[in-house]
Amino acid sequence: MKEDDFLFYKYRPITNHTLDSLEKQELYFSYPTEFNDPFDCRYDVYWRGTKEEWHEFLYKYHSKNMLINDSTIKTWIKEGKLKKKGKELLLLPGKNVLTNNINNIYPKICCFTKENNNILMWSHYANQHKGICLCFKTKLNMDAFYLRLKSEDAHLIPVKYKDEMPQKVNLLTNKDPHNTAAFLFTKHTSWGYEKEYRTLIWPSKSNNNKFEIFEKEALNGIIFGIKTAYEDMVKVYNIIDKNYHDNGLKINFYKASMIKGKYEINIKPIYDFDKFLKNYDSKFK
């Protein structure tokens, strides 16, 4: 395999948050409820089970007090939020009694791509080509790619693009997180150009915030966009020089540019950053 086959990319605008994350080696993990696509991870699910199964669920995500949970179930039945179906209780559609617990049930997600020259992604995720694209180096294990985090190696799984949503899942009795994961890795075909990969961290393995620390060796390079400002490039380089180069790590730098007469992006390496800055001349400067 080529070296590029091990590289995964993440587009970022240049903000104080991005600069701070570079300095602290942080990756931001989102919950599905925060995604920009309202259809993303909004799969068809239902909540149905026996009273004992509802008690088990509420004990895990609501309260350790059985009396409180029993009172909660009775209240939901009285208010028409839970409906009896034989020996089971079904949460009725639109009765969002579990909203407060949703981020304790679903994993945190961090998204990457195999594309570093996609015009749309530079526009959408890197502030209209004014931002950067981070290059992360992964390792291969049993035909799967892993990114080195401080907590554990993160498995990068490709997103599947389909016209139909996956089948329903009963989240109340679902014991295998991988059954849910099928929904977390499925998007509509209109997003196929992103060639997205995702890594998940489930609540049982998660810390209390939305950041995970990546190993410094995992950062392979940084690509500056077509319209990245001169002063922003200097800010990024200074952070890398202080926090990575001074620790003996080599981080590669690249500059994106337009290919004349084509709707394409060309990415060239920067071998001497000081010389590059001295000679930098662009209509976007």
Task: For residue range 132-172, list pLDDT tens digits in order.
Answer: 999 999 998 888 999 999 888 899 999 999 998 777 778 77
What is the spatial distance between Cα 131 and Cα 123, in angstroms, rounded to a whole number?
A: 9
205-220 confidence digits (pLDDT tens): 555 678 889 999 999 9
The predicted pLDDT at position 285 comes to 46
**Does the pLDDT value for residue 261 go beyond 90?**
yes
Distance CA 228, CA 285 (A): 8
Is 82 a residue whose pLDDT tops 70? yes
Q: Looking at the predicted structure, is the pLDDT value of residue 53 above 80?
A: yes
What pLDDT does residue 206 have? Answer: 55
**pLDDT at res. 80:** 87
Q: Is residue 283 scored above 60 in pLDDT?
A: no
pLDDT of residue 177: 56
What local confidence, expressed as pLDDT, does residue 242 receive?
A: 92
pLDDT at residue number 182: 76
What would the mean pLDDT of 10-21 be, rounded to a whole number?
A: 96
| Chain centre distance of CA 175 | 23
Q: Is the pLDDT of residue 233 over 90?
A: yes
Report percent pLDDT > 70 for the chain. Answer: 86
pLDDT at 96: 58
- Please report the pLDDT score of residue 63 as a whole number: 80
Residue 105 confidence (pLDDT) above 70: no
The domain limits of the chain are: 3-40+106-279, 48-97
Average pLDDT score, the chain: 86
- Tokens 């290919």, residue? 259
